[in-house]
Structure 1
Amino acid sequence: MSTSQAPSLFAGERLVLARQLAGLRKSELAARIGKSATAVSAWEAGTKRPTAANVTELAVGLGVTPAFFAPRGVASSVPGSVPHFRSLRSTSQKARDQAFAYGLLAVDIADAVEKHVEFPEISVPSIEVTLDDGDDGPEEAARELRRAWGIRPGPVKHLVRTLEQHGILLIFSPTQTSAVDAYSFDSSSRPVVVLNPVKNDYYRQRFDVAHELGHLVMHRDAEPGGRLVEDQAHRFASELLLPAADLRPLLPTAMNARSWDTFGALKEQWGVSIQALLFRARRLGAISDVTYRNAVITLTQRGWRRSEPGLVTAVEQPSMLPRSLEILEEAGISRDTLIDQARAPRMLFDIATARVPIVEASDATVGENPSNVVSLLGRRRQSGAP
């Protein structure tokens, strides 16, 4: 987009997205570019158009190109549902806006890549549950999903890849939005799960993924952040990862030294934390409330509430976007070309298409190689690709 075209090809919602990506309020952006907050509000609302010089100032101030502000050809940066954030009281609206803006940008990036590569077909059932503490709706929803996806009894071996194989986009968020935990939403293109980049814990990440999957399956129209909605997602995740029929016979019914060894072995077998196993054991009636509380006290005394011991040191890795980029590079379609087509800032493009969280080099982890999800997305489109 040339400078002369900028005013006529300017969309206010793209300015909103760029401002939220930068983590700025309207007044803060106005101060950064030397304009009034009233002017910024008018540009975002579409009641006034910025001049070409204004667009350049906005692009420089927000770290994007002028082309970023052009309207999208399709409404990809439009959520199909509100995002499911946890801990609404502990994170500011500005932090949530910044995190969600990144999720929407990731959808733009995926859309740009999908013009060249076939992604797995979206196959996420919508299972209605009532917002009622007393029924087993979340557990039945998890069992129904297992049946729909053909998940065999026992542990789910690679949960991230399982979601990708059914068309869900999984990405790590930038570290600047790490105050917001994992979250999910249903975009106009495909469902999205955004993972926390600093929670470098294989066991807890898997539970996060299962929790967010629960929202995508059960809560497309539910108000996010409520206690009951979050509790239902936890129950869904517990049944998905730790099916009652399979787990109950394996659980200790009392807590002693041997019981802790048993829970440690179950942690490695099922890929969930000891805390999640204890919670599940209480819910299934294997241990009493008193026993559960005493066990949690022991976890605290051992320092395991924050950092449990475990044998797996690398988180599960998304492969849909990173493997697609490798395929396209082999076919002569460069990263720079995709960045231009997505109109994304390079750093955020790199974060969204990475297999591991992009954090300080000393904190980066090395994980598994992509598996059969690659075969599902590993061929270029034969026709219709620009």
Structure 2
Amino acid sequence: MIERGKRELTVESAYRIARATGTPLEFFGFKSATYSAEEINFRKSSKTSARGREYAVQAFKEIERISISLEKAPVRIKNTDIPVAEEADIVSDNDIEAFALDARRCAGLADDEPVRNVIRTIERTGAAVAPLAVSVEDPALLDGHSGLSRWDESAARATVAFISGQPGDRQRFTLAHEFGHVVLHTRRNLPLELRETEANLFAGAFLLPRTVAIENLSETLTLHGYMRIKSRYGISVQAAISRAKRLGIISAQRYKSLMIQISSRGWRKAEPVEVGIEKPARLWTELTATYGPKPYFPASPDLGVAPVFLEQWIPAREGRAAGRTTTPTDSNVVSFAARGRQS
């Protein structure tokens, strides 16, 4: 009842929740973000649950708040500028190709060069990237979800979140898709379906530029040929085939034939050619620069977030020190919407 705003949160209730969940009392002093879920770019399927959507939105709002708090951390990181579509822009497919190419060039990539690490490329723009996972007690909670992003330009940075556990090729496309939202939709307010279509086109162009696609893809290219493209550019076979169709390199009939072959081989959800999982670094760098090499417990009261969530959203980089916390369970999860309602 409290978490849905149907009852006021009393001081006594706040203490009780804090004791039961390990949430710092400071959590309840932060105001809840007032923007709606519709203001978040949200890559998900139609089969997501209402509970999962609510969890993802509230978790994203917390991640965004933390990322903005850490933006002024004492670190020396030079940000790269990125192109951003203006509010009045009417954006064609060719424009999206150009925006993706410009974003690649701003990252220092040659036009035919693979994006070695999508997360690092996004982080170098100043954006915060964070994983979003669920407890082991409810592993299906975020089924159907892929990623979220938002950049309110009153804040200094964009925030991008991705759902943990995706295969590497899907993770990279999700991240490139969310980066597309940052570039194309920070200043342009469009219907959801159109935003998603544009972000998908941007992701394909970002990972596999048009000149590369035209040179390497063809009507007769076999699945093994697409696998070679995947191994070099880190884009899934299915996304590369869709890219070829979108660019007019292959016919609708050839597209259908290739997709039937993929289905018959059981590749729809798991393709051959493993693509590595990428991990964020920037928020961890900022967190440790502010709170030291074991940051979770000292940062918890300042940020108003339980250490277990900080560890989940800002995982330690491999080989770096970090104080371990317990794994979150249903019993120590508190709704983010509860704060800021003390009587």
Q: TM-score, normalising length from structure 1?
A: 0.70
Q: Does the 8 A contact of 1:85 with 1:225 survive in 2?
A: no
Give the Cα separation in 2 of the matches to 1:204 and 1:340. Answer: 35
Residue 165 of structure 1 and its aligned partner are, at CA, apart by 1.0
Q: Sort the Cα spacing of 1:130 and 1:301 in 2 relative to 1 into closer, same or farther, 3 A.
A: farther
Give the Cα separation in 2 of the matches to 1:58 and 1:339. Answer: 16
Q: Sort the Cα spacing of 1:249 and 1:333 in 2 relative to 1 into closer, same or farther, 3 A.
A: closer
Q: Sort the Cα spacing of 1:83 and 1:264 in 2 relative to 1 into closer, same or farther, 3 A.
A: same
Q: Does the 8 A contact of 1:131 with 1:229 survive in 2?
A: no
Is it true that 1:228 corresponds to 2:194 in the alignment? yes
Residue 59 of structure 1 and its aligned partner are, at CA, apart by 3.6
Give 1:98-177 correspondences, 5 Å limit: 98-118=55-75, 120-121=78-79, 123-128=81-86, 135-154=93-112, 155-175=114-134
Give the Cα separation in 1 of the matches to 2:247 and 2:93. Answer: 14
- Of 320, 330, 334, the match for 2:282: 320
Per-residue Cα deviation, 1:85-138 (whole angstroms, up to 9, x for no partner):
134743344432321221222233334544543355473432148897965232
Give the Cα separation in 1 of the matches to 2:157 and 2:262. Answer: 39
For the residue of structure 2 that corresponds to 1:171, the secondary structure is: strand
- Of 139, 143, 148, the match for 1:183: 148
Higher mean displacement: 180-189 or 89-98: 89-98
Per-residue Cα deviation, 1:36-90 (whole angstroms, up to 9, x for no partner):
x4xx1xx3xxxxxx54323324445665232211146xx9x56699111134743
Give percent identity, aligned residues only. 25
Q: Does the 8 A contact of 2:168 with 2:278 survive in 1?
A: yes
Give the Cα separation in 2 of the matches to 1:332 and 1:300. Answer: 47
Partner AA of 1:340 in structure 2: P
Give 1:1-386 correspondences, 5 Å limit: 19=3, 25-26=4-5, 37=6, 40=7, 43=8, 50-60=9-19, 64-71=23-30, 82-87=39-44, 89-118=46-75, 120-121=78-79, 123-128=81-86, 135-154=93-112, 155-175=114-134, 178-179=142-143, 180-187=145-152, 188-199=155-166, 201-222=167-188, 226-255=192-221, 259-312=222-275, 314-327=276-289, 334-354=295-315
Give the Cα separation in 1 of the matches to 2:97 and 2:87. Answer: 10
Max Rg structure: 1
For the residue of structure 1 that corresponds to 2:43, the secondary structure is: coil
Q: Sort the Cα spacing of 1:92 and 1:123 in 2 relative to 1 into closer, same or farther, 3 A.
A: farther
Higher mean displacement: 137-146 or 303-312: 137-146
**Unmatched 5+ stretches in structure 2:** 136-140, 318-323, 328-343
Partner AA of 1:322 in structure 2: W
Residue 197 of structure 1 and its aligned partner are, at CA, apart by 0.8
Partner AA of 2:307 in structure 1: R
For the residue of structure 1 that corresponds to 2:146, the secondary structure is: coil
Higher mean displacement: 210-219 or 89-98: 89-98
Q: Does the 8 A contact of 1:82 with 1:224 survive in 2?
A: no
Partner AA of 1:338 in structure 2: A
Per-residue Cα deviation, 1:286-340 (whole angstroms, up to 9, x for no partner):
211001101100000001111001143x3011111234445556x5774321122
Partner AA of 1:84 in structure 2: N
For the residue of structure 2 that corresponds to 1:182, the secondary structure is: strand
Q: Specify which structure has the bigger relative contact order, considering alpha-carbon pairs within 8 angstroms and separated by 6 or more residues.
A: 2
Give the Cα separation in 2 of the matches to 1:230 and 1:64. Answer: 35
Q: Sort the Cα spacing of 1:88 and 1:191 in 2 relative to 1 into closer, same or farther, 3 A.
A: same
Q: Does the 8 A contact of 1:142 with 1:240 survive in 2?
A: yes
Alignment length, in residue pairs? 308
Q: Does the 8 A contact of 2:80 with 2:107 survive in 1?
A: no
Q: Does the 8 A contact of 1:113 with 1:338 survive in 2?
A: no
Higher mean displacement: 213-222 or 237-246: 213-222
Residue 175 of structure 1 and its aligned partner are, at CA, apart by 1.9
Q: Sort the Cα spacing of 1:171 and 1:71 in 2 relative to 1 into closer, same or farther, 3 A.
A: closer
**Unmatched 5+ stretches in structure 1:** 1-14, 20-24, 27-36, 44-49, 362-386
Q: Does the 8 A contact of 2:226 with 2:240 survive in 1?
A: yes
Per-residue Cα deviation, 1:118-177 (whole angstroms, up to 9, x for no partner):
355473432148897965232222123223333212211111101111111111102255
Residue 252 of structure 1 and its aligned partner are, at CA, apart by 2.9
Q: Tell me the equivalent position of 1:372.
A: none
Q: Does the 8 A contact of 2:68 with 2:157 survive in 1?
A: no
